[in-house]
């Protein structure tokens, strides 16, 4: 049986020289790789008690939904600005080259709910930090974050220190 890392395609010098791009589509396109990814992520949080799963557009949806389904938990979407039809709360945050805004429905998290964030990747931690702040603004308690891949060299874990972060795969570089 292949290791999870073997399903991830690594593309050197993309999007710029010196960067190794870790391509999640190669995991999604292989049935065994996808099952192994979901199973590994679930194993990382098997002891965690939570009420709801939150996932960001779009790969957080892909990995969060099967975990929510398997654990019979509700799933809440975090989307880019302007994509949700009901009343929303939003937060602006900085990207490497600009700014972004994410939103969630105002009624999607109830005060005191324990929340698990599921995503494909943590790099610098900016998006994850913004999601945490958004969830907490609604009264939710982020009890854990689980990602398929962590780019440890970009220090996202340090940015969200104090929150439990579980990674199925950790790459030491960027």
Give pLDDT tens digits for 42-88: 999 999 999 999 999 999 999 999 999 999 999 999 999 999 999 99
Q: How do residues 91-126 score in pLDDT, each as one tens digit?
A: 999 887 789 999 999 999 999 999 999 999 999 999
Give counts: helices (H), strands (E), the chain.
5, 9
**Residue 141 in contact with residue 164, Cβ under 8 Å?**
no
CB-CB contact of 4 with 168 (8 Å):
yes
Alpha-carbon span 99 to 63, nearest angstrom:
25
Residue 174 in this model has a pLDDT that exceeds 90: no
pTM of the model: 0.96
Q: Alpha-carbon distance 168 to 9, whole Å?
A: 15
> Rounded to an integer, what distance in angstroms lies between the CA atom of residue 88 and that of residue 108?
9
In this prediction, residue 97 carries a pLDDT of 73
Which residues are known catalytic residues? Answer: 59, 96
């Amino acid at each position: 049986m292949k290791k999870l890392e073997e399903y991830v395609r690594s593309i050197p010098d993309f999007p710029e020289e010196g960067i190794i791009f870790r391509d999640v589509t190669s995991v999604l396109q292989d049935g065994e790789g996808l099952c192994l990814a979901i199973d590994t992520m679930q194993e990382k949080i098997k002891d965690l008690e939570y009420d709801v799963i939150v996932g960001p557009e779009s790969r957080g949806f892909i990995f969060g939904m099967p975990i929510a389904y398997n654990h019979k938990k509700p799933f809440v979407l975090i989307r880019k600005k302007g994509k949700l039809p009901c009343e929303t709360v939003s937060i602006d945050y900085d990207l490497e080259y600009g700014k972004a805004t994410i939103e969630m429905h105002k009624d999607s998290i109830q005060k005191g709910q324990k929340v698990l964030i599921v995503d494909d990747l943590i790099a610098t931690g900016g998006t994850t930090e913004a999601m945490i702040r958004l969830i907490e603004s609604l009264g939710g308690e982020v009890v854990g974050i689980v990602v398929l891949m962590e780019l440890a060299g970009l220090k996202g874990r340090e940015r969200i220190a104090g929150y439990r972060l579980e990674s199925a795969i950790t790459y030491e570089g960027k």
